[in-house]
């Protein structure tokens, strides 16, 4: 019996992938609902190995999904909810066109809502899984918390984002989980460590909102936020339970200053005081704080990792109490929320002008204030008992994990470079630019070269000299080489006698030349199929080293310009 011949594209890549149009027909959904469902379920297009087979021989580039992902979506009960919402909007539109406004208002009160709890539990079975995927969630929620009300997006989303992000910041303050801070053009980068999981997110600067014209699709972003709100609510609930705090957070209503009651109305007073980040939350169980001590084990000579872990633990404990016993007063012009957050994470006390925002704890006239954060060139009234520093001092102290000298951060001083703590400390200086300030910070005893350009030129000349010598050796005729070899052999036979040895000093130039020759031999051993990849890697390496060289040159020119300006002032 002759076996039936299989049809083309019924197996392999052709059966493994499905186009977006085919998925819409299979699920019986509109493109808008399909996108929303994919975002909520975490399903994205796939790139096949062979696009021609995956597209069943069709030309062009089409959006492809895995067939198993589409079958997985077919079992999702939320599809029926989306279909019900489609029917509901048709009924509302019909009532509006027939001018039955009473029926329309009754329908709008019964607006169906999606419940995403089961999807969050499905995508993140454990608490640790949710923490590992919290970076994008926090970044988007903090971004939406700064927006005003936008068209076609529910205003409740922005208010809920603001509330959940404030609750998360309170949890970080209570747990002292902050590890790194960095300020850039994009905003404030924060890094915390919760349950051994490192979480990094960005908080945008507080600027006036400028509407975007068609550049950003806020509807798609709103769908992501719809899922992230539920996820962040679960995380906050677990965080507060682990810290023995009430959730939602509670503050004492007693002893509220009369000025704060005048600043905001009674309904918003509690939420505004929580948003101030300056008041401790109520605990579910009264407990005293105990310092956690690391277990000490007998360290062996080879256990360097144990010693590093112990050192890191000591630095973390030092960071948690970095500002303990210090009092900070914030001027009006500094970023209040960011400074309050980072200072309280390091056990410091903060306050500001009572008329600026609710939640201040002491006045500017308090003589126990140790630091006043100022970001203006001149301050009219100054106290001798405190330091007046610029905001960067706080962030640099946290990254350095120690209190830095304040003389470089006084009012009117040119601030030192704000170095990023997120870079690799062991990175190659030839592949990535390392500022001189960072080199001095790591090794204070290192003497930097006055002119990096001269060093690079010297290296280039040295390389050219080596190439010339090699070319001269190659041009030498073979007869002369044979004669020199014979003479050396005869001299060696004559000197066959035992003598006391002498220590020969290794010539660094010869060593470098030998290493270069060995490196070229290793390059020749690269296989042909890997040679193109190797060449592209080497080109990328040269490109990065050139960028480093250009940055060094730019830095040198700026410094020379500053020196010339100083000389002109003195003259």
Is 93 contained in some domain?
A: no
Q: Are residues 124 and 232 in the same domain?
A: yes
Is 459 contained in some domain?
A: yes
pLDDT value at 455 more than 70: no
Tens of pLDDT along 369-383? 999 999 988 888 889
pLDDT value at 161 more than 90: yes
181 touches 188 (CB < 8 A) = yes
DSSP secondary structure string, 70-84?
HHHHHT-THHHHHHH
CATH code, 334 = 3.40.50.10190
Q: Are residues 348 and 361 in the same domain?
A: yes
Q: How many domains does the chain have?
A: 4
Rounded to whole angstroms, the Cα distance separating 301 from 216 reads 57
Stretch 182-195: mean pLDDT: 94
272 touches 367 (CB < 8 A) = no
Give me the chain's average pLDDT, please.
83
Q: Are residues 528 and 542 in the same domain?
A: yes
Rounded to whole angstroms, the Cα distance separating 223 from 79 reads 15
Is 389 contained in some domain?
A: yes
Tens of pLDDT along 507-558? 888 888 888 889 889 888 888 888 889 989 989 988 988 988 898 899 889 8
Q: Are residues 438 and 569 in the same domain?
A: yes
Burial class (CB in 10 A: 0-12, 13-18, 19+), 171: buried
Higher pLDDT, 447 or 142: 142
Rounded to whole angstroms, the Cα distance separating 558 from 544 reads 21
Q: Are residues 431 and 421 in the same domain?
A: no
Q: In this prediction, what percent of the chain has a pLDDT beyond 70?
A: 84
Is 334 contained in some domain?
A: yes
User: What's the pTM value of the predicted model, to 2 decimals?
Assistant: 0.79
Tens of pLDDT along 104-132? 888 888 888 888 899 999 999 999 999 99
Q: Are residues 421 and 431 in the same domain?
A: no
pLDDT value at 221 more than 80: yes
Bridging pattern class, strands 371-373 and 387-389: parallel
3-state secondary structure string, 380-404?
CCCCCCCEEECCHHHHHHHHHCCCC
Rounded to whole angstroms, the Cα distance separating 407 from 226 reads 48
Tens of pLDDT along 17-55? 999 999 999 998 899 999 999 999 999 999 988 888 888
Q: Are residues 175 and 236 in the same domain?
A: yes
Is 57 contained in some domain?
A: yes
Q: Are residues 432 and 524 in the same domain?
A: yes
Is 341 contained in some domain?
A: yes
Q: Are residues 160 and 224 in the same domain?
A: yes
Q: Are residues 179 and 131 in the same domain?
A: yes
Q: Are residues 65 and 162 in the same domain?
A: no
Is 415 contained in some domain?
A: yes
Domain that holds residue 58: 13-76
Q: Are residues 412 and 355 in the same domain?
A: yes
Bridging pattern class, strands 187-194 and 197-204: antiparallel
Residue 276 φ then ψ, to 5°: -70, -20
Q: In this prediction, what percent of the chain has a pLDDT beyond 90?
A: 36
Is 284 contained in some domain?
A: no
Q: Which pLDDT value is given to residue 463? A: 44
Within 276-420, residue ranges assigned H as helices are: 304-320, 336-345, 392-400
């Amino acid at each position: 019996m002759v076996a039936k011949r299989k049809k083309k594209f019924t197996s392999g890549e052709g059966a493994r992938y499905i186009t977006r149009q085919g998925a819409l027909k299979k699920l019986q959904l509109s493109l808008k609902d399909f996108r929303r469902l994919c975002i909520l379920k975490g399903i994205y297009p796939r790139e096949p190995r062979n696009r021609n087979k995956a597209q069943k021989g069709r030309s062009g580039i089409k959006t492809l999904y895995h067939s198993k992902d589409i079958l997985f979506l077919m079992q999702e009960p939320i599809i029926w909810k989306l279909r019900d919402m489609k029917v509901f909007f048709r009924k509302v539109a019909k009532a509006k066109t027939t001018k039955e406004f009473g029926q329309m208002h009754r329908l709008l009160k019964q607006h169906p809502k999606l419940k995403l709890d089961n999807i969050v539990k499905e995508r993140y079975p454990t608490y640790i899984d949710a923490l590992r995927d919290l970076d994008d969630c926090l970044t988007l929620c903090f971004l939406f918390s700064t927006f005003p009300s936008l068209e076609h997006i529910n205003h409740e989303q922005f208010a809920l984002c603001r509330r959940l992000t404030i609750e998360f910041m309170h949890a970080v303050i209570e747990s002292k989980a902050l590890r790194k801070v960095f300020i850039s053009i994009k905003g404030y980068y924060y890094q915390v460590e919760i349950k051994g999981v490192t979480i990094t997110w960005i908080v945008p600067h507080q600027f006036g909102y400028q509407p975007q014209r068609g550049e950003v699709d806020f509807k798609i972003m709103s769908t992501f936020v719809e899922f992230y709100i539920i996820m962040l609510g679960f995380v906050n609930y677990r965080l507060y339970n682990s810290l023995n705090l009430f959730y939602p957070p509670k503050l004492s209503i007693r002893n509220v200053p009369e000025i704060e009651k005048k600043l905001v109305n009674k309904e918003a007073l509690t939420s505004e005081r929580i948003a101030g980040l300056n008041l401790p939350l109520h605990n579910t169980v009264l407990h005293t704080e105990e310092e956690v001590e690391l277990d000490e084990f007998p360290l062996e000579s080879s256990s360097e990792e144990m010693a590093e872990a112990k050192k890191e633990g000591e630095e973390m404990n030092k960071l948690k109490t970095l500002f303990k016993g210090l009092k900070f007063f914030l001027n009006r012009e500094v970023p209040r929320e960011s400074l309050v957050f980072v200072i309280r994470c390091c056990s410091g006390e903060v306050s500001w002008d009572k008329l600026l925002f609710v939640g201040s704890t002491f006045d500017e006239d308090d003589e126990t204030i140790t630091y006043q954060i100022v970001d203006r060139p001149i301050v009219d009234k100054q106290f001798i008992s405190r330091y007046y520093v610029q905001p960067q001092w706080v962030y640099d102290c946290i990254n350095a994990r120690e209190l830095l000298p304040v003389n470089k951060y006084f009012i009117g001083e040119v601030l030192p470079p704000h170095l990023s703590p997120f870079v690799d400390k062991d990175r190659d200086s030839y592949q990535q630019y390392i500022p001189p300030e960072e080199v001095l910070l790591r090794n204070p005893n290192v003497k930097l070269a006055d002119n990096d350009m001269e060093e690079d030129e010297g290296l280039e000349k040295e390389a050219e000299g080596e190439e010339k010598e090699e070319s001269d050796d190659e041009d030498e005729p073979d007869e002369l080489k044979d004669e020199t070899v014979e003479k050396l052999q005869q001299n060696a036979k004559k000197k066959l006698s035992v003598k006391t040895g002498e220590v020969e000093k290794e010539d660094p130039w010869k060593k470098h030349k030998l290493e270069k020759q060995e490196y070229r031999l290793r390059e020749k051993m690269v296989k042909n199929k890997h040679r193109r990849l190797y060449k592209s890697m080497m080109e990328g390496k040269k490109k990065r080293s050139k960028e480093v060289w250009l940055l060094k040159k730019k830095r040198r020119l700026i410094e020379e310009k500053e020196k010339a300006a100083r000389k002109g002032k003195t003259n």
